Amino acid sequence: MSFRLSNGFALLGIFSLGLVWPYSVNSAELTPITEQQLIAQPALCVALHQGRKCFTKVTLTWHVQALGNFCLYQKSPRRKVKCWQKSKGNSTLLEFESSEKLTFQLINQQNNLVAETAIDVSWVHKATPRKRRWRLF
């Protein structure tokens, strides 16, 4: 169903409003950095299709109350991301590339979990039983 717009700019405004409203829940906006925290920004990666690998650049920021040695790990599969010596806070840029939610953990030198965060993966289109072929015009 196609409509030529009689008031195109009004609709453009409505759509623009909707465009910016629902996107990207960001954990940094929800909770201020106070105690021991690990924050992913953005905390959501959106792929076009369900099951497709999602790509984004994520900043992982951590903050603790006392100086120490800390390492940042990806939980599963376990992988070291980066370590810091004598620090109480820092950040690192990560190339996120996954089709599913990934959890990251901040571990201290006693190998204790200090803080945890996750980057979720969502999608626009569900997997469909129909294969598609489309032409633009």
| Two structure tokens written together for 128 | 């469909």
Per-residue interface string for the shown chain with another protein, residues 117-136, x marking contact by CB under 8 A:
-----xxxxx-xxxxxxxxx
In whole angstroms, how large is the CA radius of gyration of the chain? 20
Contact 69, 83 (CB under 8 A): yes
Binding of residue 24 to another protein (CB under 8 A): yes
Binding of residue 5 to another protein (CB under 8 A): yes
Contact 23, 97 (CB under 8 A): no
**Could you tell me which residues come within 8 angstroms of residue 72 by beta carbon, excluding any fewer than 6 positions away?**
38, 60, 62, 80, 81, 82, 83, 92, 104, 105, 106, 107
Binding of residue 22 to another protein (CB under 8 A): yes
Compute the least distance from the CB of residue 105 to another protein, in Å. 26
| Two structure tokens written together for 23 | 């996107």
User: In terms of CB distance, is 21 or 66 closer to another protein?
Assistant: 21
User: In terms of CB distance, is 48 or 66 closer to another protein?
Assistant: 48
Binding of residue 2 to another protein (CB under 8 A): yes
CA atoms of 9 and 13, how far apart (whole Å): 6
Q: Which of 19, 30, 66, 93 is in the footprint of another protein by CB under 8 A?
A: 19
Binding of residue 8 to another protein (CB under 8 A): yes
What φ, ψ does residue 29 adopt, rounded to 5°? Answer: -80, -20
Binding of residue 3 to another protein (CB under 8 A): yes
Residues that bind another protein (CB under 8 A): 1-6, 8, 11-12, 15, 18-19, 22-24, 44, 46-48, 52, 54-56, 122-126, 128-137
